Amino acid sequence: MNPLAALIGLIFVAMGVLAYTGRWKGWIRFRRGFGSTIGFAWFWMGVAFTVASVALAVSSLRPLFFVLIVVAGVFLVVAAIAMFWLPRSLLPSWFLELRDGSGHRPR
């Protein structure tokens, strides 16, 4: 396992958790692309890095290695998309309330 990749992945996951829980909102002022969801991308990027570092640790187990690489790739694609847009189902309710200005989570 690459300890640096695992550490970076865990740091990104922590940043994403802070963004999803609403404890870190400083990223909202940076508007990129379609919407302001780049803060949530940190979570998905962290999951991708962490899964990829675990895959490197089990590289001798070929089937598991390839499954983990595919899973990491899927999370990496989600992270890339999350830099610009996320579906409503992947957005926290506090962000939907802030974005829509309605005071309640739209259905």
Q: What is the DSSP letter of 104?
A: S
* pLDDT given for residue 42 in this prediction: 94
Domain assignment present for residue 56? The answer is yes
Please tell me the total count of domains within the chain: 1
Domain assignment present for residue 13? The answer is yes
Q: How remote is the C-alpha of 73 from its chain's centroid?
A: 12
* pLDDT tens-digit readout, 37-96: 888 999 999 999 999 999 999 989 999 999 999 999 999 999 999 988 889 899 999 888
pLDDT over threshold 90, residue 106: no
Confirm if 81 and 35 have CB atoms less than 8 A apart. Answer: no
Q: Which domain holds residue 89?
A: 3-100
Domain assignment present for residue 60? The answer is yes
* Helices and strands per DSSP (H, E), number in the chain: 4, 0
Domain assignment present for residue 105? The answer is no
